[in-house]
A and B are shown apart, each in its own frame.
Chain A
Amino acid sequence: EDKVVQSPLSLVVHEGDTVTLNCSYEVTNFRSLLWYKQEKKAPTFLFMLTSSGIEKKSGRLSSILDKKELSSILNITATQTGDSAIYLCAAGWDSNYQLIWGAGTKLIIKP
């Protein structure tokens, strides 16, 4: 059965800390791994990683795909209170447009 597992489910850190969020996947005909940030409402797209793009960076956020270990990490450095959110990971298939979603990591940044 295809699945995506995120860890930890929740995390509380202080402002300025660095955090690493984990995502592992078992997906037949895997094509891509996506990260989203969800604050109060709509998830917003952060990164998409594929075999041709296994590392992405945007400001304090970066993500790496490890195709050997079937996993990905999302790093946030110098965290700010505005980084508090649920971070969702999803895996996409090669043959259709669907995504399979992890349960999310709830990140709380304390001032």
Chain B
Amino acid sequence: DGGITQSPKYLFRKEGQNVTLSCEQNLNHDAMYWYRQDPGQGLRLIYYSQIVNDFQKGDIAEGYSVSREKKESFPLTVTSAQKNPTAFYLCASSPGGTSNIQYFGAGTRLSVL
């Protein structure tokens, strides 16, 4: 089955701790994205990557870091510098080219203990 897998579904962070959210895709898509969604708000872009070993900051990158060492994988680390990390995090991928369509994983809900 082709798709995007995010794990874990739920994650709790203690103060001062870094946590990493996993995102894996087997769609052979070039581009991958991380979004943050807060209640009543749309999707805000954290980071995106159009190719392996390259990524760019989105609108709200502060307190987050990413890597893209493999085409299939785009993990997001929420660092202790992110003071308000409680949110729903969505990973997406896109084939790129002339298509703007993005396909999403099921999301990770992060809460602070």
Q: Which residues of A contact B103 (CB under 8 A)?
A: 45
Q: Check if B100 sits within 8 Å of A99, measured CB to CB.
A: yes
* Residue B106 at the chain A interface, CB threshold 8 Å: yes
Per CB-CB distance, the 10 closest pairs between chain A and chain B, nearest first, are A92-B100, A42-B104, A101-B42, A103-B42, A101-B43, A97-B31, A41-B106, A32-B100, A42-B106, A97-B96
CA of A99 to CA of B58 in the docked complex: distance in angstroms? 11
* Residue B50 at the chain A interface, CB threshold 8 Å: yes
Q: Check if A97 sits within 8 Å of B100, measured CB to CB.
A: yes
* Residue B76 at the chain A interface, CB threshold 8 Å: no
Q: Which residues of A contact B41 (CB under 8 A)?
A: 103-104
Contact with A along B33-69 (1 / 0, CB 8 A): 1000000111111001010000000000000000000
Q: How far is the CB of B62 from chain A (nearest CB, A)?
A: 18
Q: Check if A43 sits within 8 Å of B90, measured CB to CB.
A: yes
Q: Known: A41-B106, A42-B106. Is A98-B42 also a contact (CB below 8 A)? A: no
* Partner-A contacts on B (CB < 8 A): 31, 33, 40-45, 48, 50, 90, 94, 96, 99-107
Q: Known: A34-B100, A43-B90, A99-B102. Is A104-B42 also a contact (CB below 8 A)? A: yes
CA of A107 to CA of B43 in the docked complex: distance in angstroms? 17
Q: How far is the CB of B48 from chain A (nearest CB, A)?
A: 7
Q: Known: A88-B43, A101-B43. Is A42-B90 also a contact (CB below 8 A)? A: yes
Cβ contacts A to B, 29 pairs, < 8 Å: A4-B42, A6-B42, A31-B100, A32-B100, A34-B100, A34-B101, A41-B106, A41-B107, A42-B90, A42-B104, A42-B106, A45-B102, A48-B99, A48-B100, A88-B43, A90-B43, A90-B100, A92-B100, A96-B50, A97-B31, A97-B48, A97-B50, A97-B94, A97-B96, A99-B100, A101-B42, A101-B43, A103-B40, A104-B41
